[in-house]
């Protein structure tokens, strides 16, 4: 089927006196066949611009018209589109709209890292409404403001199979996020993974996180939320964890990396960890929790009975705080994946304690460090990246 699409594409490009896009030629020239569960051939449009050989030949708006026409005859077989990290603007989305409108079996769309703004989002939302098989939409790192996010938000009402929505690193602020949380607390009961990293807040009022808290109170489908770079301080953490520990029994992964939590906020995280029975992964890297925060965190993790994965990297924790963490993790029986290495200083005492901890774990434990004996007979620590098998099952992609 790819060969037929390639032949059609070459003919259209020649007729329009366009130069062929080499990325498109290479992709369509790959001979491969994929069948679905009914034995029908599957077609994909998979041309990410961030692969090494595509850096200097990213797809632009003008490349899209012939490729869309070429795929139109096989639109019923189209299952996924990945045009991430190319040079697609709202004009390009307008050309893709007709193809998307007739793609009734589409399940995954990835436009991450392009230049799509509000106008493009309106076109996307219009042609994707009601797609019963659409389960993943990635618009991370575009130029989407509040108006565009309102259009995308409509899909939470009209597309009951949508499981993953990534809208991180765009230009929306509170108003756009309030629309998302409203849909998730009142109507949508299917979305499992939500990325709202790095919104365009100018000033952050910590009371705003009450909107997320109330969403956690009523929503029972969301399993992972990523809220990096929200300028969350201890007041915001207090609000979020109150609703999570009091009402929520569905969230599995909480990513609060790169905020302003500090040790005061860790008090509330620790209390939440001591009580939750559902959370599998807590990620609070780059929050400057220091030694005092590490001591507080260790108390919560010692009492926790659900965590599988913990990430505390880049938190300016010194030997004293690392010792407290080692003691806390020794009391925990569930953690299998620990990311801790990129902190300030492992001293001899913390290295010894973590060495004892590793001996306790023996098998089925995946830290980001190793301990070894150097030529002088001293115990030393070094970076060693390991990943728990089936990690995506715990981190949900």
pLDDT at site 364: 87
Contact between residue 172 and residue 199 where contact means Cβ atoms under 8 Å apart:
yes
pLDDT of residue 363: 82
To 10 degrees, what angle do helices 90-101 and 118-128 make? 0
**E strands in the chain:** 43-46, 78-82, 108-110, 136-138, 164-166, 193-195, 224-226, 253-255, 281-283, 309-311, 337-339, 366-367, 369-373, 379-383
Distance (Å, rounded) from C-alpha 287 to C-alpha 375? 36
Residue-by-residue pLDDT tens, the chain, 397 positions: 788 888 888 888 787 777 777 888 888 888 777 877 777 889 999 999 998 888 888 999 999 999 999 999 999 999 999 999 999 999 999 999 999 999 999 999 999 999 999 999 999 999 999 999 999 999 999 999 999 999 999 999 999 999 999 999 999 999 999 999 999 998 999 999 999 999 998 777 899 999 999 999 999 999 999 999 999 999 999 999 999 999 999 999 999 999 999 999 999 999 999 999 999 999 999 999 999 999 999 999 999 999 999 999 999 999 999 999 999 999 999 999 999 999 988 999 999 999 999 999 878 899 999 999 999 999 999 999 888 888 777 777 6
Instruction: Walk me through the domains of the chain, giving residue ranges and CATH numbers.
Output: 203-397 (3.80.10.10)
What burial class does residue 389 get, using C-beta atoms within 10 Å of its C-beta: 0-12 exposed, 13-18 middle, 19+ buried?
A: exposed
State the Cα–Cα distance between residues 252 and 315, nearest whole angstrom: 23
User: pTM for the complete prediction?
Assistant: 0.95
How large is the C-alpha radius of gyration of the chain?
Answer: 24
Find out whether 220 and 190 touch, Cβ atoms under 8 Å. Answer: no
Provide φ and ψ at 282, rounded to 5°: -120, 125
Q: What is the pLDDT of residue 216?
A: 97
Residue 397, pLDDT score: 60
């Amino acid at each position: 089927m790819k060969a037929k699409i390639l032949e059609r594409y070459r003919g259209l490009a020649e007729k329009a006196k366009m130069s062929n896009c080499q990325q498109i030629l290479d992709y369509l020239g790959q001979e491969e066949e994929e069948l679905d569960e009914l034995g029908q051939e599957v077609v994909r449009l998979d041309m990410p611009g961030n692969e090494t050989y595509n850096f200097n030949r990213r797809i632009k708006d003008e490349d899209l018209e012939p490729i869309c026409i070429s795929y139109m005859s096989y639109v019923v077989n189209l299952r996924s589109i990945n045009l991430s990290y190319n040079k697609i603007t709202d004009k390009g989305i307008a050309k893709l709209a007709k193809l998307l409108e007739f793609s009734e079996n589409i399940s995954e769309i990835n436009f991450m890292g392009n230049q799509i703004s509000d106008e493009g989002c309106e076109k996307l939302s219009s042609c994707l409404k009601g797609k019963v098989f659409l389960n993943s939409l990635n618009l991370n790192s575009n130029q989407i403001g509040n108006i565009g996010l309102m259009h995308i938000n409509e899909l939470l009402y009209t597309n009951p199979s949508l499981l993953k929505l990534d809208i991180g690193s765009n230009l929306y602020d509170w108003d756009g996020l309030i629309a998302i949380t409203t849909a998730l607390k009142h109507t949508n009961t299917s979305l499992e993974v939500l990325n709202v990293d790095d919104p365009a807040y100018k000033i952050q009022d910590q009371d705003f996180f009450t909107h997320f808290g109330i969403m956690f109170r009523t929503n029972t489908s969301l399993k992972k939320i990523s809220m990096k770079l929200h300028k969350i301080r201890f007041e915001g953490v207090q609000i979020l964890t109150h609703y999570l520990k009091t009402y929520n029994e569905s969230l599995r992964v909480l990513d609060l990396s790169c905020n302003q939590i500090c040790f005061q906020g860790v008090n509330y995280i620790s209390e939440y960890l001591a009580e939750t029975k559902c959370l599998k992964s807590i990620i609070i890297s780059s929050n400057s929790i220091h030694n005092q925060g590490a001591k507080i965190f260790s108390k919560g993790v010692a009492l926790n009975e659900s965590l599988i994965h913990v990430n505390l990297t880049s938190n300016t924790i010194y030997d004293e705080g690392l010792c407290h963490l080692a003691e806390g993790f020794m009391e925990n029986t569930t953690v299998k994946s620990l990311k801790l290495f990129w902190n300030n200083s492992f001293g001899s005492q913390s290295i010894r304690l973590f060495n004892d901890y590793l001996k306790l774990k023996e098998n089925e434990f995946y830290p980001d460090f190793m301990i070894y004996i150097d030529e002088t007979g001293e115990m030393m620590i070094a970076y060693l990246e390991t990943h728990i098998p089936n990690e995506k099952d715990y981190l949900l992609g």
